[in-house]
Structure 1
Amino acid sequence: MRREELGMTQAELARRTGLKQPAVARFEAGGTMPTIPMLERLADALELRLSVHFEPQRQAS
């Protein structure tokens, strides 16, 4: 997990994103559906770049 690779606690990630630690724990556990702005804040705090794009679906053979 990126947060752990950076040696960051949930509390530190929460501080960097303006969240509370329980919200970070819920996100990590898959208990919430984050918005794009929230993903941007998380990416910035984790020293990542968020990339969202569409790809064509595979065509049936």
Structure 2
Amino acid sequence: MSERASWRAVREEILNRPGAGAAYEAARIRFELGEAVRLRREALGMTQAQLAAATGTQQPAVARFEAGGTMPTIMILERYAEALGMRLTVELEPLEQAS
């Protein structure tokens, strides 16, 4: 019977493939942005439909974004921030300083 690889080993092997690190990072950013919007929307007691109306989008677009399925433009992120009473901050930092 063969030994199964640990999740850590499988993840490391996948991330070592060409382009995988960039794709993983893009997915992480999408997920974190969507989660931040969802948490703020829920804290304000807003529905996805209400947020969609406030941003000029449709409810399914809000749902996809909150689930990390899409990467909106800066302009759309600004609309989300305004509708949620937040300030959008975009930052670039050297990789050696990034966590």
Do Structure 1 and Structure 2 share a fold, with TM-score over 0.5?
yes
AA paired with 2:53? R
Larger Rg: 2
Partner residue of 1:35? Answer: 73
TM-score of the superposition, structure 2-length normalised?
0.57
What displacement does 1:54 show? Answer: 1.2
How does the TM-score come out when normalised to structure 1?
0.90
Q: Which ranges in structure 1 are unaligned for 5 or more consecutive residues? A: none
Q: Structure 1 segments of 4 or more deviating over 3 A?
A: none
Identity level (%): 69
Alignment correspondent of 2:17: none
Report how far residue 56 of structure 1 moved. 2.1
Q: Partner residue of 2:52?
A: 14
Query: Could you say which structure has the greater relative contact order, defined with CA pairs below 8 angstroms and 6 or more residues apart?
Result: 1
- Would you tell me which structure has more helix in proportion to its own residues? 2
* Partner Cα distance (1:30, 1:58) in 2: 26
Aligned residues: 59
Structure 2 unmatched ranges of 5 or more = 1-38
